Amino acid sequence: MVEKKNIKSRTLKATSGLKLEMGRHYLAIEQAIKEGKPTAWATSGSPVELLYAMDVQPMLPENSATISAAKGQSKGFIEIAEDEGFSYDLCSYFKTNIGVTSSNTIDMSVGGIKKPTFMLSSDVICDTHVDWFQVQSKRFNVPHFTIDVPHVVSNTSNRQKHYFKKYVIEQLWDFINFMQEITHHEFDINKAREVAENSFDLSKIWQDIFELRKCVPSPLSTKDTFGGLFPLFTMPGLKSPIKLYKKMYKEAKQRVDEGIGALEEENYRLMFEGIPFWYNLKFFNFLEQYGAIIVYEPYTYSFSKYMDPSITKDILLNSPVETMAQLMLSFWYIYDLKTRVQKFQETIKNWKIDGVILHNNLSCRPNSCGLYDLKKHLMEDSDVPCLIIDGDMNDPRKLNSTQTINKIESFLELLENRKKN
């Protein structure tokens, strides 16, 4: 049996600033609504930067849903949605949002959300986003703009890629026109550049933080990154989260320089693919008690959208809208299997990962699709131990904790035996 040593972990002091940072975001929403300024619901992966550039206050229902889960409220909201006829298998973020609005929950501290001026969705990550806002925009009787993003697959030619980019660019300009009509705000290219620069800087520091996680021992854990990711998709374009990330980086770098890890004892380095169980983050503490640290999550990394090395700051500032289209076409979650396997293999090597835990998310197709193929390739081609666990990011009914803990313990035992041999 692998030994549970009750190893303690150290969260970065700077991470405590996250609460304040997110508080600013919720305050800005309250303020905008109070002053009658335009607001918009936006799905993750959609160009939130354009909202900031047009002085529209974003609200992210997925972020609100995670709060409901963390506060132990998501199950109740999901059941309200199911009572209304939404299927047990549908996305639990979507159903949480349905339950929140059907129960007229506006208290943001439990994941409540308010009526927006309009809604912005995109199918860059999943088609549920579009269906979700189609349903909710009808209920709230507000306009809905959706951006269709074609997926680049293995055989996509350069000619097709060029066409895809042109197609998305046209939609982004249509979206800007749509916002101008609704808000009566004029599009200002200099403001768009300023927002784009902040978004770029925010993402780059996040990537630098991830670079530090390559070090052994890793200076930070999921206690810093799971919550730390939220400014990336709620506030890309603002200056204040950049300061928070810089502080996190500085403290993590100091730990690296002093050889201090996030865990008192680091025994196994893991990758976790998928959305965490927001209602049960203690699960990750459980891993750490064995000295198992997650050093990379593709999910939290993917929101630092400037991953295509051909996109430099100069290019971005020169043409922020056009570059946004290119970014939407290079999002991690639209990778085909071949590229995804290759990315995983590179990451496993660079971050010195001993094993991979794959979250088979029962209500999210983009997160669960291809996991068995991915596992097969990583195990057979690269001899990397992989474990698939079933669960759901927001619906606690779908996680069998005892069974999952048993699986994890066996997996850690396997990693321990490999170390010995």
Q: CB of residue 360 vs ligand SF4: minimum separation in angstroms? A: 12
> 């000295």: which residue's tokens?
291
Per CB under 6 A, the segment of 120-128, 167-175, 207-215, 287-295 that binds ligand SF4 is: 120-128
The least CB distance from residue 187 to ligand SF4, in Å, is: 28
What kind and span of H or E run contains 230?
A: helix 230-234
Minimum CB separation from ligand SF4 for residue 93, in Å? 5
Nearer to ligand SF4, 133 or 306 (CB): 133
- Looking at the Cβ atoms of 183 and 361, the one nearer to ligand SF4 is 361
Instruction: Return the number of the residue (89 or 346) whose C-beta is nearest ligand SF4.
Output: 89
Please state the closest distance from residue 123 (CB atom) to ligand SF4, in A: 9
Strand partners, 145: 120
Measured in degrees and rounded to the nearest 5, phi and psi for residue 165 equal -65, -45
- With a CB cutoff of 8 Å and minimum separation 6, the contacts of 250 are 14
Please give the size of the binding site for ligand SF4, defined by CB under 6 A.
11
Interaction of residue 126 with ligand SF4, rule CB under 6 A = yes
Tell me the pairing of strands 355-361 and 386-391: parallel
Q: How far is the CB of 63 from ligand SF4 (least distance, A)?
A: 12
Inter-CA distances, 239 with 57, 197, 232, 413, 419, Å? 15, 9, 12, 45, 45
Looking at the Cβ atoms of 86 and 187, the one nearer to ligand SF4 is 86
Min separation Cβ 75 and ligand SF4, Å: 16
Contacts with ligand SF4 in 32-91 (CB under 6 A)? 91
**ω into residue 385 within 30 of 0, thus cis?**
no
CB of 366 vs ligand SF4, minimal distance in Å: 5
Judged by CB under 6 A, the residue of 41, 52, 77, 93 near ligand SF4 is 93
Q: Which is nearer to ligand SF4, 146 or 183 (CB)?
A: 146
Query: Least distance to ligand SF4 from the beta carbon of 135, Å?
Result: 13
Distance between CA atoms of residues 403 and 53, nearest Å: 47
CB 239 within 8 A of CB 326: no
What are the two backbone dihedrals, phi and then psi, of residue 389, each rounded to the nearest 5 degrees?
A: -120, 140
Footprint (CB under 6 A) of ligand SF4, residues 312-371: 364-367
Residues 6+ apart with CB under 8 A from 316: 196, 197, 200, 306, 323
Which of 350, 388, 391 lies closest to 370 in space, CA to CA?
Answer: 388
Task: Report the nearest approach of ligand SF4 to the CB of residue 233 (Å).
Answer: 11
Q: Closest CB to ligand SF4 among 276 and 291?
A: 276
Dihedral sign from CA coordinates of 206, 207, 211, 217: positive
Residue spans of beta strands (DSSP E) within 274-350: 292-296
Q: Which residue type, as a one-letter code, is found at position 123?
A: D
Q: Three-state SS for 295?
A: strand
Coil/strand/helix, residue 138: helix
Site for ligand SF4 in 212-231 (CB under 6 A): none
Question: Nearer Cβ to ligand SF4, position 205 or 364?
Answer: 364
The smaller minimum CB distance to ligand SF4, of residues 126 and 205, is found at: 126
Q: Please identify, among the stretches 21-29, 121-129, 251-259, 350-358, the one whose residues bind ligand SF4 according to the rule CB under 6 A.
A: 121-129
Report the nearest approach of ligand SF4 to the CB of residue 78 (Å): 12
Compare residues 7 and 371 and give the one whose CB is closer to ligand SF4: 371
Reading the block at residue 359, the tokens are 């979250």
Alpha-carbon span 89 to 237, nearest angstrom: 35
User: What phi, psi does 168 have (nearest 5°)?
Assistant: -70, -40
Half-sphere exposure of 140 (CA within 13 A, CB side): 23
Among 78, 125, 147, 215, binds ligand SF4 (CB under 6 A): 125
Question: Looking at beta carbons only, is 105 or 121 nearer to ligand SF4?
Answer: 121
Residues that bind ligand SF4 (CB under 6 A): 91, 93-94, 125-126, 128-129, 364-367
